[in-house]
A and B are shown apart, each in its own frame.
Chain A
């Protein structure tokens, strides 16, 4: 095969009804035949199908083709397909070029004639480009069989256990003092009503005791560099002011701490905690943390030290500093979860104004055996409510806040209704826009709750007010809503209101997306590589998603996705090596002026500087072929394989 004597085959795809009705594919194929170096042209219904690929392979063999152009869809899906076909016919896979006449032409052009002209131009460009292609080879790089899991909720724990069971070393990083995440706050789970703690705490213990898992709680990932299989992550451990190795978790320090009136984050502000605290009894690790903002010693510089005085293990260390840990990992699973929507901006619902208006998360704590009332559903004054209203879609399906449906609120609202009926016998009124119960046994649960006498009103609540209609209801809250099925406006006096708040991305998600170089959608959820076919991968190699950080989901879906992410990681690392990109950057030492601009531009740290020769050099193992160095290089000494000036300029010239 002589590269200077190109012999090109051009294949125009109909893509069923996607391209052919708009683009005159026969005309495009005919036009291609008139171009220099083109030896074979064909059009076919589905080029990506087996017969389509066979056609290319046969032509390469029978006609001695050494270059191939396929005019079809976006290279994202099928470039690998056709490259493989070229390779199996014996030519270098990089002697291939794709012209996108579907997304760039037939789907976005109204006029058929214009579409055909544009398709011909793109084919002409691809032919001009492929002439200049050079054979490139990929390399195999060894991978670290270590996984970093960011987030210690149910998703992170499930992923960590699965991958650790497969024999990989796991680092699990959690920013709160304990692993467990949101699920640790729940009492029961829908629709089976199994106790969250009963199914959750055993998993926490497994994570804690697994020889393959190292947990860093009260820690955050602050840096990451490298590439798939070979990342270096920096973890910042915040000071706990308690030495983990010494602490026995006896709890004496918490009993003795005199700062006792700090609203408990874990109990959503409903109960208090001490300045030295462990968020909940089953916390993992058991080691408490000292809150530097409320501790008398750390915040007020007072001579308290009650915790230190009574600690038999001598574990208190007020001088502890934060610590940076660097680890090498082959893959990362992001499982940073969600946060609950803060309903304060929806002033009509009275949250923060009327004490008997609770968020769903606060109600989870109120109803929880380990919560502030030991699971008794009572109002602030200790009375049992006679009537409770549950308002759906708070912050969800609302263009002012979150346009999306949060998926879990209907179901947890009905779970609340069941638990309130069971525990207190109170009347429960659910105010909904649409009941969404699309899960296994979910519709059955809806029916069950209806049969239990729960009232369902189809209408979004207009307001919650303390203005009572009747003197007898003074002191209660009134829920105002149109029952859209009876067309009547209801003014329902209630004792307690639960706002079924939606899910939103956790704070810090944006920073993490920048750090890991993964993308977010308009709502702030991390974006998967492909909505259907790559639901847990990201666009960055070796980084996977699990749980709510990718979008609202319930526990079964979260656990399934976490297992899938672990599976992907295992598949990636099991082979021991990864194939790197063949298209990498080169710096021509004869042209390099030694300005070093490329050194800071490279986010993979793949460029080093040779002081002796006064030139920059590319480390081929680290280079990802992103092209940043080539773009910034003022002397044009840096170039990326497969995107050389010649290749790009010839393509452009041909199109224009």
Chain B
């Protein structure tokens, strides 16, 4: 069994069934996520917008906590956390002076930051790269099915970290879905921005962004949206209840995979979605 340092992030706690479904998958696939002891908020876009050294220090503290427990990798479940940590890591790696400054600030608080910063990964990477074999074997043909799923990666998982076609049209999750019997629809809205970070202050401006994504997915035959980030999930889920007459349910990818593994909907926290998801028993093949 591989043990990963886990940085859940602030939004994970109240996310609609994300925690439940991640826990269920971990149990089924024998993945151990060890929550970083006394983790703090990564600062997201806010800290970096106000002051870069502070933004780096917040992420530096998380790296120091992981190093203290001997981890070389941190797993996140949120695109904003993922991008913020990765950005901090790259900035500090590129500029040793920044790293030294952060280490100095942390030392004042009794924390030690070593030069080799831990790798930052998304839980999606763990499922797609590390345990895909186990996943394929665990796929059940007697579970619940929810229909045609459209993957919504959001903007910050691929950009600016991946270049080339995958930055615009990633397909790793669709490939995994197909292997475990989930019907994934092809569409063009997978990495369009949904406006989550601006939804509260600029709801009117962000409305069309949500509508464009949902309309595209419906046009391409998608019945369910699946996300990999609590910000995206909340924004698309809540954003539709106010403004759409015929909304599409917005799930987490871990919930959809859970269904394919035969895990019961109630154990995946599906009851917490604002737009309800209807599932039915798969016909035995």
A residues in contact (CB < 8 Å) with B: 344-345, 347-348, 353, 400, 463, 465-467, 474
Report the nearest B residue to A345, measured CB to CB: B164
Q: Which residues of chain B from 185 to 238 have a CB within 8 Å of any chain A CB?
A: 188-189, 212, 215-216, 219
A-B contact pairs, 13 of them (CB 8 A): A344-B165, A345-B165, A347-B164, A347-B166, A347-B168, A348-B168, A353-B169, A463-B168, A465-B188, A466-B188, A467-B188, A467-B189, A467-B212
Contact check: which of A347, A400, A474 meets B169 at CB < 8 Å?
A: A347
B225 CB to closest chain A CB (Å) equals: 15
B residues in contact (CB < 8 Å) with A: 163-169, 188-189, 212, 215-216, 219
Report the nearest A residue to B208, measured CB to CB: A469
A411 to B18: give the CA distance in the assembly, Å: 55
- Residues in chain A near residue B163, CB distance under 8 A: 400
SS class, residues of chain A in contact with chain B: loop
A344 to B169: give the CA distance in the assembly, Å: 12
Could you tell me if A347 and B188 are in contact, using CB atoms closer than 8 angstroms?
A: no
**A to B contact number (C-beta, < 8 Å):** 21
Contact check: which of B164, B166, B167, B216 meets A467 at CB < 8 Å?
A: B216
Contact check: which of B165, B212, B215, B216 meets A347 at CB < 8 Å?
A: B165
- Residues in chain B near residue A353, CB distance under 8 A: 169
A345 to B168: give the CA distance in the assembly, Å: 10
Report the nearest B residue to A400, measured CB to CB: B163
Report the nearest B residue to A464, measured CB to CB: B188
B271 CB to closest chain A CB (Å) equals: 32
A345 to B164: give the CA distance in the assembly, Å: 5
A467 to B165: give the CA distance in the assembly, Å: 18
* Contacts beyond the supplied A344-B165, A347-B164: 11 A-B pairs with Cβ under 8 Å: A345-B164, A345-B165, A347-B165, A347-B166, A347-B167, A348-B168, A463-B168, A465-B188, A466-B188, A467-B188, A467-B189
Cβ-closest 3 pairs across A and B: A347-B165, A347-B168, A467-B216
- Residues in chain B near residue A348, CB distance under 8 A: 168
- Residues in chain A near residue B219, CB distance under 8 A: 474
- Residues in chain B near residue A465, CB distance under 8 A: 188
B67 CB to closest chain A CB (Å) equals: 35
A467 to B214: give the CA distance in the assembly, Å: 11
A639 CB to closest chain B CB (Å) equals: 50
B29 CB to closest chain A CB (Å) equals: 31
- Residues in chain A near residue B164, CB distance under 8 A: 345, 347
A463 to B189: give the CA distance in the assembly, Å: 12
A466 CB to closest chain B CB (Å) equals: 5
- Residues in chain B near residue A344, CB distance under 8 A: 165
- Residues in chain B near residue A347, CB distance under 8 A: 164-169
A405 CB to closest chain B CB (Å) equals: 23
Report the nearest A residue to B167, measured CB to CB: A347
A292 CB to closest chain B CB (Å) equals: 32
A347 to B190: give the CA distance in the assembly, Å: 13
- Residues in chain B near residue A463, CB distance under 8 A: 168
- Residues in chain A near residue B212, CB distance under 8 A: 467
- Residues in chain A near residue B216, CB distance under 8 A: 467
- Residues in chain A near residue B215, CB distance under 8 A: 467
A125 CB to closest chain B CB (Å) equals: 42
A470 to B130: give the CA distance in the assembly, Å: 42
A609 to B215: give the CA distance in the assembly, Å: 80
